[in-house]
Amino acid sequence: MSEEIVLVTGGSRGIGAATARLAGARGYRVCVNYRTDAAAAAEVVESIRSSGGTAFAVQADVSRAAEVERLFRAVDQEYGPLTALVNNAGTLEQQSRLEDLDEDRLARIWAANITGPFLCAAAAVRRMSTRHGGRGGAIVNVSSRAARLGGPNEYVDYAASKGALDTMTTGLALEVAAEGIRVNSVRPGLIHTGIHALGGEPGRVDRVGPQLPMGRGGRPEEVAESILFLLSASSSYTTGAFIDLAGGR
Ligand code: NAP
């Protein structure tokens, strides 16, 4: 039985699903977290199991502290304390200018994209840190190139939330560097997933992809490869680092 145990938040679809599948294929025991789409999560678990891997799914909204505690306790009970966390769950809303954003929308974006990764990172550190008797581990935060590009006319709120996540990557990496935990980030650009439909433009990657330096959008599997690299011993001296996956943008 593998020693490596990974929790992938938002593992039911898109980048999270590709990451969960690749982790399963690399021998990790995988917890696939999802918020609403139980069928999609079950499909990811089934595909990992049918390839000989080990996985289970847990429903939890990562922006709620009580649900995060329930999620991590489920992993403890099923596999034992985790060794890897992928803070992947995230969301965006209808494309809009900043002057049209209201308080409720801002609260939803901060909750999903900032509070969620903070709560999950805290729960992971309490289990991984040598300071708490843990055996160390690795955390990968899924940010976005938007954190640097700003998301003008589409979602400055989303971009700013990823900027906050980048600051967390830097700060937490330094905070736990001597406690056996590495904290790194990937910043995808335009990736073919369902998230763009939430912004009101499901075909966004097809529209913008040809204008990128590499002339195309990315695939979730290409992001998953970098996430697995940052989780693995192949990056054992890397912490507080960012890998941009944006086709040159
Ligand atoms: P996606 O296809 O929309 O999938 C999002 C996943 O997150 C789903 O599994 C969803 O679960 C889950 N989720 C959302 N809010 C959640 C919450 N509060 N608690 C638990 N799970 C939650 O999105 P994606 O494109 O793969 O995006 C994954 C990450 O990559 C996000 O952080 C996103 O910001 C980032 N990213 C994506 C792109 C891109 O172009 N696709 C670019 C840069 C960064 P349910 O389906 O069950 O609701």
Mention every residue, 6+ apart, whose C-beta is less than 8 A from residue 47: 21, 24
Spell out the per-residue pLDDT of the chain, length 249, in tens. Answer: 568 999 999 999 999 999 999 999 999 999 999 999 999 999 999 999 999 999 999 999 999 999 999 999 999 999 999 999 999 999 999 999 999 999 999 999 999 999 999 999 999 999 999 999 999 999 999 999 999 999 999 999 999 999 999 999 999 999 999 999 999 999 999 999 999 999 999 999 999 999 999 999 999 999 999 999 999 999 999 999 999 999 999
For the Cβ of 20 lying below 6 angstroms from any atom of ligand 1, the answer is no
Position 249 in a domain: no
Say whether pTM exceeds 0.75: yes
CATH code of the domain in which 79 resides: 3.40.50.720
Q: How many domains does the chain have?
A: 1
Rounded Cα–Cα distance for residues 205 and 90 (Å): 18
Structure tokens given for 150: 């700003």
Position 217 in a domain: yes
Position 126 in a domain: yes
* Closest-lying ligand 1 atom to the alpha carbon of residue 89: 7
- Enzyme catalytic residues: 158
Q: Whole domain around residue 68: which residue ranges?
A: 5-244
